[in-house]
Amino acid sequence: MKTIDDLSKDGLAGKRVFVRADLNVPLEGATITDDGRIRAVVPTIARLAEAGAKVVVASHLGRPKGAPEERYSLAPVASRLGELLGKNVAFANDTVGDSAKATVAALGDGEVTLLENLRFNAGETSKDDAERAAFADQLATLADVYVGDGFGAVHRKHASVYDLPARLPHAAGDLIAAEVAVLKKLTEDVKRPYAVVLGGAKVSDKLAVIDHLMEKADRILIGGGMAYTFLKAQGHEVGTSLLQEDQLPAVREYLARGEERGVEFVLPVDVLVSTGFPDLEAKAPTHPQTVAADAMPADQGGLDIGPKTCKLYASKLADAATVFWNGPMGVFEHPDYADGTRAVAQALLDSPAFSVVGGGDSAAAVRILGFDENAFGHISTGGGASLEYLEGKTLPGLAALED
């Protein structure tokens, strides 16, 4: 896989460099509530601009249906990107139309523009190869060189991720290069003990990665909504907790395989329960109860791991040499149910392990709960991409950069 260093050998000054970033940040109206993904790609953009390139940045945001939707506009991102770069970022209000063409044509050496949301064009996400290729052809007219740096999108076979690199000289940006180097530490010559912490809502989202990591991990700690399917698989009452009954046979099979292979599954021993889901906007107190994991009331649901589980999980991470964490332990957005996720984050900081926070809600939780991102070994910008890499899948966006 070529890098920016390889491109720099031929000189970048005056060249139009298309940077496929992942600027899919959460918005409340026009307010960015977490700019982590923007900050992650700034070093690559700044490096290219300093080399004299005309930098054309592109990204998706949200899931528009192939046509413009104001709520998914990247205009607020252009403003924030400019603040972080310390320079004006011109904004094109379309992707390959008159505005994009004019804005790119007006760029001077070292200047930066951001195109409007790529997914406002149906060709970006189309499953029809010809439609995707046609959009990639249009994007290619805006650039001389392609740099892939949107790690959070490399598991998607989309025009700007998969088809466009084949049309231009291409290389991986600094962020993707760093992400791949870290993930190799989790899959090749792993330092042990190797602990994996998995949370989040649905166990179905994590079964494939559990299957793959059972060949490598020494212990797997389970939290979040998915924990209740595991507890149910052990025969416990889980009340109104999130439950995927169709996944119970698979979970029982994994628990049995883990016992056979010496992979320790660590499940909650106590949980915080409530009769309803908390209001995440008002954040009013909900007065949850702490109950043993095998004594949950039938009319209440679990929303976080309990204090005994927090201590248990911390002890299971204390001697680890490598830790991968993906998924919060509870509804961390509400203060009543943030302690479990906070405890795992703190345990990673207290452990001597090389710790990788696997993107998505886990990365957001680290920032929202006030932790220093630089204190962790690595915080990934791509939750889904990280998981698919660890599942052993070929990621289209990485494959496109490797030839």
**Residue 74 is part of a domain; what is its CATH number?**
3.40.50.1260
Q: Is residue 184 part of a domain?
A: no
Q: Is residue 399 part of a domain?
A: no
Q: What is the pLDDT of residues 25-53, one digit of tens each?
A: 999 999 999 898 999 999 999 999 999 99
Q: What is the pLDDT of residues 323-340, one digit of tens each?
A: 999 999 999 999 999 999
Average of pLDDT values for 65-90? 97
Mean of pLDDT over the chain: 95
Strand ranges (E), 223-365? 264-266, 270-274, 289-292, 301-305, 322-326, 354-357
Alpha helical stretches, state H, 111-245: 129-140, 174-185, 207-213, 227-233
Q: Is the dihedral of CA 124, 42, 338, 352 positive or negative?
A: positive
Specify the pLDDT at position 109: 98
Average of pLDDT values for 270-290? 93
Q: Is residue 279 part of a domain?
A: yes
**Binding site residues for substrate, as ranges?**
22-24, 37, 60-63, 119, 156
| 2, 171 contact by CB (below 8 A) | yes
Alpha-carbon gap, residue 398 to 403, rounded angstroms: 9
Residues 93 and 196 in one domain: no
Residues 203 and 302 in one domain: yes
pLDDT of residue 318 exceeding 80: yes
* Total count of domains within the chain: 2
Q: Is residue 180 part of a domain?
A: no
Active site residue 327: no
pLDDT band at 10 (very low <50, low <70, confident <90, very high): confident
Residues 171 and 198 in one domain: no
Residues 23 and 88 in one domain: yes
Please name the helix (run of DSSP H) or strand (run of DSSP E) that holds residue 381, with its range, or none: none
Active site residue 330: no
Domain limits for position 283: 190-391
Active site residue 157: no
Alpha-carbon gap, residue 184 to 149, rounded angstroms: 17
pLDDT band at 361 (very low <50, low <70, confident <90, very high): confident
Tell me which of 144, 175, 206 is where a domain ends: 175
**Binding site residues for (2R)-3-phosphoglycerate, as ranges?**
37, 119, 156
Q: Is the pTM value of this prediction over 0.85? A: yes
Q: Is residue 363 part of a domain?
A: yes
Closest CA to 26 of 76, 70, 95: 76
Residues 222 and 363 in one domain: yes
Number of neighbours of residue 121 by Cβ within 10 angstroms: 25
Specify the pLDDT at position 288: 95
Give the chain's largest Cα–Cα span: 67
pLDDT-above-90 percentage for the chain = 86
Residues 133 and 214 in one domain: no
pLDDT band at 70 (very low <50, low <70, confident <90, very high): very high
Residues 112 and 246 in one domain: no
Q: Is residue 46 part of a domain?
A: yes
- Prior bond to 193 cis, omega within 30? yes
Exposed, middle or buried by CB within 10 Å (0-12, 13-18, 19+), for 214?
middle
**Binding site residues for ATP, as ranges?**
206, 302, 333, 359-362
Closest CA to 19 of 94, 130, 111: 111
Within 13 A of 355's CA, how many CA atoms are on the CB side? 25
Within 13 A of 209's CA, how many CA atoms are on the CB side? 26
**Binding site residues, as ranges?**
22-24, 37, 60-63, 119, 156, 206, 302, 333, 359-362
Q: Is residue 181 part of a domain?
A: no
Specify the pLDDT at position 356: 94
Tell me which of 115, 147, 175 is where a domain ends: 175
Taking each helix axis as running N to C, give the angle between helix 174-185 and helix 36-50, from 0 to 180 degrees, rounded to the nearest 10.
120
Average of pLDDT values for 258-274? 97
Pairing of strands 31-32, 27-28: antiparallel
Within 13 A of 396's CA, how many CA atoms are on the CB side? 14
Of the candidates 173, 360, 383, 397, the residue annotated as catalytic is 360
Alpha-carbon gap, residue 299 to 288, rounded angstroms: 13
Residues 218 and 314 in one domain: yes
Residue in the block written with tokens 């989790």: 186
Radius of gyration of the chain measured on its C-alpha atoms: 22
For residue 348, the one-letter residue type is L
Assigned token pair, 189: 């010559």
Residues 217 and 85 in one domain: no
Active site residue 216: no
Buried b (16+ CB within 10 A) or exposed e, 6-24: ebeeeebeebbbbbbbbbb
Q: Is the dihedral of CA 46, 33, 203, 352 positive or negative?
A: positive
Tell me which of 113, 144, 175 is where a domain ends: 175
What residues pair up with 290 in beta bridges, in sequence order? 272
Of the candidates 80, 202, 308, 393, the residue annotated as catalytic is 202
Q: What is the pLDDT of residues 161-209, one digit of tens each?
A: 999 999 999 999 999 999 999 999 998 889 999 999 999 988 998 998 9
Residues 253 and 339 in one domain: yes
Residues 201 and 161 in one domain: no
Specify the pLDDT at position 270: 98
Of the candidates 37, 132, 157, 219, the residue annotated as catalytic is 37
Q: Is residue 351 part of a domain?
A: yes
Specify the pLDDT at position 189: 81
Residues 317 and 271 in one domain: yes
